[in-house]
């Protein structure tokens, strides 16, 4: 849509808001019409915001310095936030009250209807009217509206410049960054970017189930099944229905204090032309994801152990026949073992199953073939989500995070429904603290990221969600 059409649509929507405002001021909105008026106002406000964003994007693209050509300046003619300016800086009202003329015609369709006293008796409360009027005012005022892209760029820049000391705490707060007591809350736009990167690198983030909340998250787990009964005789006082019990255990996601440290050289930060915000964010991503991935896969950090980590909670699988990777028939034996493994979970888990393996396991299955000459790892007909191979009929992902600690040459296979890995992110918990003195001796600045996080594999003992298979390595892998 071109700029001229956008401005015309903006003018029309604002005129409608002015008309509705006039009806509200004259008590011409009945209680029965309240819902429809609220919905219309909200729709108009949302559309006006979209138009303002689009116009701002056009101006950013056409006038790199952020200036407009005069035809799209929606703020100069909207003093008081209630005008219906046409974008040229000239409101349609008089005496500094844009849009007043629209009020004179508002509600004409209601003239000749019910009397004024009846209208008021069936009208809306002052609180309801004030709420809608506030919505209308925000829609009529486009002052300060910026495109989402522009706002995010400003927040990113303010955040990065504050943490490296280029702007003061007061300046950072004025630009929308929450800062104080030596730490700064990581803005949502940056926190979401860090989490998105974590999803790309941490497969449990990608396939697990994430809950974002400030409260506790509890999951009931069945630990004792009920038992049914059968009888061919009619029950009486001497033959009552036996009592059966079911029991649930409750697993609580209890977010732990989670931190990671990234250091950046002062030289890099002070180099002219260097993208400061990208340097800081990239280093934070790397440090955070390394720590988070280890927490979810292994959970072995001293003092911050995770009992629900994948390595600890996945059920160990042992094939009926041990696989000797150096044997001539290793390929067929491995195929048989993987078939057994994928058929071990209950049907509901198997339906949603997928493999997560380490590179040592990938090397094994890439080399091996079954007795009839077919490779264990087969390409998918059409790659989906970055996955290009199938293993015994199920998609495969490869990650170094699946390595056995200290022995990365051991092939490790995980199979199951990874959506049962539950992750809690505490909203607004991610913070950053700058450490200057600690690394002054090496001309570096440290950035310590802090978050509250928990992630556990949760399932009933009757329906294990993920199985783990480690293949013993006693000799080099045969071809």
Three-state SS annotation for 317-353: CCCCCCCCCCCCCHHHHHHHHHHHHHCCCCHHHHHCC
Of 350, 371, 367, 349, nearest in space to 359 by CA = 367
3-state secondary structure of 255: coil
**Tokens at 471, concatenated:** 């293949």
Q: Max alpha carbon distance in the chain (Å)?
A: 98
Q: What is the pLDDT along the chain (479 residues), one digit of tens a residue?
A: 688 888 888 889 889 988 888 888 888 888 888 888 888 988 888 888 888 777 776 765 554 444 444 443 443 334 333 344 443 444 444 333 444 444 444 444 444 444 444 444 456 787 788 888 888 887 777 544 555 666 777 777 777 777 767 777 777 777 667 776 667 777 777 777 788 888 888 999 999 988 877 766 666 655 455 566 666 677 776 777 666 655 555 666 767 676 777 787 888 777 756 676 677 778 778 888 888 899 999 988 887 788 889 999 999 999 998 888 888 888 889 999 999 999 999 999 999 999 999 999 999 888 888 787 778 877 644 444 444 588 888 999 999 999 998 899 999 999 999 999 988 887 777 887 778 888 889 998 887 788 888 888 988 888 899 999 999 876 444 44
Q: What string of DSSP letters covers 155-210?
A: HHHHHHHHHTTSS-HHHHHHTT--EETTEEEPPHHHHHHHHHHHHHH-HHHHHSEE
Give the chain's length: 479
CB 199 within 8 Å of CB 191: no
Q: What string of DSSP letters covers 67-116?
A: ---SSS--STT-GGG-----SSS--SSBTTBTTHHHHHHTTGGGTTSS-H
3-state secondary structure of 375: strand
Of 25, 141, 23, nearest in space to 78 by CA = 141
């Amino acid at each position: 849509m071109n700029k001229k059409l956008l401005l015309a649509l903006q003018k029309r929507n604002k005129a409608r808001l002015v008309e509705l405002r006039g009806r509200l001021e004259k008590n011409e909105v009945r209680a029965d019409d309240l819902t429809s008026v609220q919905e219309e106002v909200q729709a108009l406000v949302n559309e006006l915001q979209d138009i303002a964003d689009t116009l701002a994007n056009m101006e950013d693209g056409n006038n790199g310095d952020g200036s407009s050509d005069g035809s799209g300046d929606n703020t100069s003619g909207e003093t008081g936030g209630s005008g219906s300016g046409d974008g040229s800086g000239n409101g349609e009202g008089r005496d500094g009250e844009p849009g007043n003329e629209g009020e004179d015609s508002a509600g004409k369709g209601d003239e000749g209807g019910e009397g004024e006293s009846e209208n008021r008796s069936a009208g809306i409360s002052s609180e309801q009217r004030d709420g809608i009027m506030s919505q209308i005012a925000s829609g009529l005022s486009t002052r300060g509206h910026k495109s989402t892209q522009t706002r995010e760029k400003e927040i990113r820049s303010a955040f990065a410049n504050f943490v490296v000391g280029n702007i003061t705490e007061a300046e950072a707060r004025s630009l929308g960054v929450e800062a104080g007591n030596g730490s700064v809350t990581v803005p949502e736009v940056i926190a979401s970017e860090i989490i998105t990167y974590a999803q790309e690198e941490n497969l449990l983030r990608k396939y697990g189930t994430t809950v974002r909340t400030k409260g506790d998250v509890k999951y009931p787990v069945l630990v004792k099944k009920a038992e049914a009964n059968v009888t061919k005789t009619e029950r009486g006082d001497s033959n009552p229905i036996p009592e059966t019990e079911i029991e649930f255990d409750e697993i609580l996601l209890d977010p732990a204090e989670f931190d990671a440290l990234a250091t950046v050289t002062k030289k890099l930060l002070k180099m002219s032309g260097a993208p400061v915000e990208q340097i800081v964010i990239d280093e934070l991503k790397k440090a955070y994801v390394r720590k988070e991935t280890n927490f979810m896969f292994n959970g072995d950090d001293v003092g911050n152990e995770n009992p629900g980590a994948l390595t600890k909670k996945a059920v160990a699988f042992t094939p009926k026949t041990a696989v000797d990777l150096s044997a001539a028939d290793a390929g067929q034996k491995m195929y048989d073992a993987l078939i057994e493994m994928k058929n071990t979970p209950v049907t509901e888990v198997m339906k949603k199953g997928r493999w997560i393996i380490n590179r040592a396991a990938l090397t094994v299955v890439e080399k091996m073939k079954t007795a009839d000459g077919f490779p264990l790892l087969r390409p998918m007909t059409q790659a989906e989500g970055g996955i290009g191979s199938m293993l015994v009929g199920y998609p495969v992902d490869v990650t170094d995070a699946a390595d056995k600690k200290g022995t990365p040459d051991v092939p490790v296979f995980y199979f199951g429904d990874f959506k049962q890995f539950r992750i809690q992110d505490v909203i607004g918990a991610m913070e950053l603290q700058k450490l200057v003195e600690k690394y002054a001796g090496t001309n570096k600045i440290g950035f310590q990221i802090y978050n509250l996080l928990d992630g556990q594999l949760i399932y009933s003992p009757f329906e294990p969600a993920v199985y783990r298979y480690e293949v013993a390595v006693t000799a080099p892998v045969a071809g």
